[in-house]
Chains A and B, each alone.
Chain A
Amino acid sequence: MSAQSLINLQDIRKDYPMGEVTVHALSGLDLNVARGEFIVLLGPSGSGKTTTLNLIGGLDRPTSGRLVVDGNEVTGLNETRLAEYRRRSVGFIFQFFNLIPTLTAAENVEFALALTQHGKTLRRQSLDFLAQVGLQDRADHFPSQLSGGEQQRVAIARALANHPPLLLCDEPTGNLDSDTGRQVLQSLRNMNTNEGATVVLVTHNTSIAPMAGRVVHLRNGAVDKIDVNPAPAPVAELAW
């Protein structure tokens, strides 16, 4: 692992017992992700890309192998330490937004802030994060009052609230139309270039791949090939 590596997966295997059959979601995955990179995990359904993301994000545990993030061994952490890892090291963005429906946009961001801070500044900070994604005017709206794109941008603001070094995005545009999807991708690009966040984005949509610095192709639970993109395309040029 190089000194610039943020994420290091070594021979990661993940098996799911499904009755009498065992599904090998990952069969010996090796991958390094450098700090500040924007990579896309691409592959067909069942290739293991979401599983990889879940393992990196601490939402699941590998069957075997080693995962090191930011110099810390994540495999083998107990639930309390994992919670802390997720709190401080990872920002997760889901396909279905996963906002808390009983909280407003600002409160959803505040919810994440409150995990690591206390005090009267949380409200102001949440508004700042919403401003970063262009939603300061929708701060007091509930998810049921926001469009899909707006919900996803709130989710991004929430994911950034604790300044995680790592942003994990699972099909963030999967539930959005292409225009809204591009807005979301632009927000992610901004976080990467302006804030230096490392972004790992999972998608099955090949049209998104050009925006990444590297595209990791997964097949049958392992890395099939890695494409390096020296000149990532602007988000505006992506079309699907």
Chain B
Amino acid sequence: MNMLLLKTMRDLRASLAQSAALVVIVMLGVASFVASVASFRDLGTSYQRTYDQLHLADVTFSVQAAPESVADDLRRLNGVQAVSARLVVDTGLEMADSGGDTQEPIRARFIGLPAAEHPSVDDVLVLEGGYFSAGQSDAVLMESHFAEYYHLAPGDTITPIINGQRVSLQACGIAASPEYLVVSPSKQEIFPSVRSFGVFFIPQPELQRLFGLEGTVNNFAVLVKPEADTDAVVNAARELLTPYGLSETTLQKDQPSNAALNADLEGFRELAYLMPLVILLVAAVSVYVMLGRQVRAQSPQIGLMKAIGYTDTAVLWHYLLYALVIGVLGAGLGALLGLPLGYAITKSYALELGIPIVAARFYPELLVEGVVLSLLATMLAAVGPARGALRQSPAQAMRLDPAVAQVKGRVSAFERILPMPLWLRLPLRNVLRVPRRSLTTAMGIVFAYILFLMVWGLTDSMNYFFQNNYKEVERWDVTAVFDAPQLPDLLDEIRGWAGVKKVEPLAQLPATLKANGHTEDILLTALGTDQTLHGFQFPRGTSAADALGSGRLILTNGLLGKIGLQEGDRVSLDTPLGPQDFTLGPPSDEMMNSVAFVSLTELQKRAGAPAPLFNAVYLIVDDSQAGQIKLDLYHLPGAVSVQRKADMVADLQSYMVLFYAFTAVMLAFALLMSFALLFNAMTVGVLERRREFATMRSLGTGRRWIALLLSGESLILWLFTLAPGLLLGYGMALGMGAAFNTDLFTFKIIIAPATYVAAALGIMVTMLLAALPAVSQVNRLNLAEATKVLT
């Protein structure tokens, strides 16, 4: 074996624990890269394969009502490949709890499908039981998430409330739908709620019969030919469907489930690349520190190698080889770990989301990329220290006392400005004695702060969202939406129910906003000027009554920013009432984007109606009566959906469990990283200063004092990293928050002061703990040996 290679292997073995730690860090970096990128790609492929196999619509049009024959007109348009015309109706559904008692009704969506064959667009995949069979009029297919949540099976009965009456329907099967991989009722309801929203597929003729809408459809799902111009097809279809009360045009990318999945995947993608890069950066820092120490400690050996004839290149490659071995070992193990890990992530993610078609494959290019990344990280980090080995002449190198040579022999600026006692001077000078090592260690600590604040900042921000959106903005307890405008008598009727403390009317219409070249689908919401149950977040000095009373349109800050508008600008809305122009009023600083507000009076005026039109209500109710009130609301004619805010919040918080688990893992990782970095740096420092510490002990310095000295070094490093860590952490959290913004939602990063304190204290404690092994090392020094030998 080549002698330098032999020496490298012996050196690695001599510092086995640290070398192993480096290999593990590189392994984690490569494994997380291979696993997350493979999983990200597999999930994207799985979604796409599901869409392709089940023919997810390229565009969906919602109308008030149209005859089924309109589908044929659509099919004749240039560029249209296939059309499914459907009746889609929302209503209430009574569910029984495990004891057989009826719970509060939930919202159910019924979608009409062809009775005897699968639809050509937006098909379903039957997972259990079977598709409808001929003559089976009261059969229904249950969407899989709902069926799983409520432990339902083919043969079970469901009881929707249709036109105020309970109707029994029997489930013939369980199906997955490409439209509901994430089960969300609409684009505006960005958080899925399996518990309170179920989707069912029913033979179209039966659905039409149940609702008294024979021959009528209100939804067209269209597949566009691959070679066609989608915009042209959409425009032509919109022109065709406008007479039927076209209310919404939804491209595939904006389809709620697809949009949610893509947003989630995008977040996953960012993490898939960011996390491994951070880990590999940590590995690079550690290699730099470790190899730097090695070179310094082996200075006499380097002098000897050069003295007996090894070239500079040979010496350089000898030290680069160390990093190469670490990189190769780490990459190899990482690839072995990453492949099955990626598959496991894909499977469990798909299982959790209920993705029916999972496509996982082997990505050989990822292994190559992982190896390249790992070698880049370790080798680049090794270049500096390896070149340092060449700086001195052989004679100088052989005379060198590494510990003394490090110290330039000057007093730092801190000491010149601030006189300090010896017990403070010593740790400060120790931190500053090898500036590059301290700087790279500090960088690693700053990364730990960044990770900590990014992740915990997200948690704080979600908590702020709950607080802001569900307490300060949405102040109602229950809301109900109807399928048509209601009479004012309804308000009096509801007010008379037991447990109802307040009722406020509102109107909700789908609309499309056009301005500055942008087109945005929004929910136009009309509120009374005296309303109190929507808490607008206006600038100080602006009242809701004034803002609404002016007849202007209120948008949220997020939407204004996206389109590039401001108060006073003019915009156009396509609404069921026809095109409407508005002047923009003051913005409301809310996190939901796809809403716009106007007064009920203004809507009435534009509709030419004799009285304010409302198709929804906000209620404040007695909590004990909420269940009954919800049931009564569903029994009202035309009631499409009834939501209780407490249920929405509970559903959201159940989703947060996974998020909190993720946060905990990332926090643990941040602390582990700072521990590993500092452990490495301090252990290296102690190894270099063995003789110094042994001398201190032989002078009679107690172990406690030495422990304080080493802890002091940790604390000083902590102090240096505190401000940059917190500032950069906040900055990165802001950046991450921006990545979460979607068309529907502006994510505000709000980091609680306590979080900054927790970050600072958490990292400080971790750094102090990381000093303990070094303290233990010093305490175990053989004084007789260490005071005599040059380290």
Contacts and interface: CB of A to CB of B under 8 A. Distances in A.
A129 to B, nearest CB: 14
Given A59-B787, A98-B695, A102-B430, A84 B407 contact: no
Interface residues of B, number: 36
B299 to A, nearest CB: 15
B422 A101 contact: no
B788 A101 contact: no
A94 B403 CA distance: 16
Report which residue of B407, B700, B703, B705 has the largest number of chain A beta carbons within 10 angstroms of its beta carbon. B700
Contact of A83 (B425, B697, B782, B790): B697
A142 B433 CA distance: 12
A221 interface: no
Contacts of B425: 103, 107
Contact of B409 (A79, A145, A158): A145
Nearest to B790: A96
B698 A92 contact: yes
Given A59-B787, A111-B422, A115-B699, A143 B407 contact: yes
A114 B691 contact: no
A80 interface: yes
A96 B404 CA distance: 11
A144 B422 contact: no
A87 B699 contact: yes
Interface string B698-732: 11111101000000000000000000000000000
B406 interface: yes
B691 A98 contact: yes
Contacts of B692: 98, 100-101
Nearest to A170: B788
A88 B702 contact: no
Contacts of A99: 404, 695
A57 interface: yes
B408 interface: yes
Given A95-B788, A103-B426, A144-B407, A115 B701 contact: yes
A145 B405 CA distance: 10
Contacts of A58: 698
Interface residues of A, number: 41
Given A143-B404, A144-B407, A57 B698 contact: yes
A54 interface: yes
B703 A144 contact: no
A141 interface: yes
B702 A100 contact: no
Interface in B678-702: 691-692, 694-702
Contact of A144 (B405, B697, B698, B705): B405
A115 B788 CA distance: 23
A60 B702 CA distance: 16
B423 interface: yes
B699 A86 contact: yes
Interface in B755-791: 779, 782-784, 787-788, 790
A112 interface: yes
A131 to B, nearest CB: 20
Nearest to A88: B700
B406 A101 contact: yes
A37 interface: no
B409 A59 contact: no
A8 to B, nearest CB: 21
Contact of A142 (B409, B426, B697): B409
B429 interface: yes
A110 interface: yes
Contacts of B702: 80, 83-84
Nearest to B691: A98
A98 B404 CA distance: 10
Contacts of A143: 404, 407, 409
Nearest to B704: A80
Nearest to A107: B422
A177 to B, nearest CB: 15
Given A98-B692, A101-B406, A144-B408, A83 B701 contact: yes
A96 B788 contact: yes
Nearest to B697: A83
A75 B694 CA distance: 20
Interface string A43-63: 000000011001001111000
Contacts of A110: 422
28 contacts: A51-B784, A54-B783, A57-B698, A59-B784, A60-B782, A79-B779, A84-B702, A86-B697, A87-B699, A94-B787, A94-B788, A96-B401, A96-B691, A96-B787, A98-B692, A99-B695, A100-B696, A101-B403, A110-B422, A114-B423, A115-B699, A115-B701, A115-B705, A122-B422, A142-B410, A143-B409, A145-B409, A170-B788
Ordered nearest first, which 9 A-B pairs have the shortest CB separation? A87-B700, A142-B409, A102-B429, A86-B700, A59-B783, A98-B695, A54-B784, A101-B407, A60-B784
Given A94-B695, A115-B700, 9 more contacts: A84-B702, A87-B699, A88-B700, A98-B691, A101-B403, A110-B422, A111-B422, A144-B405, A145-B409
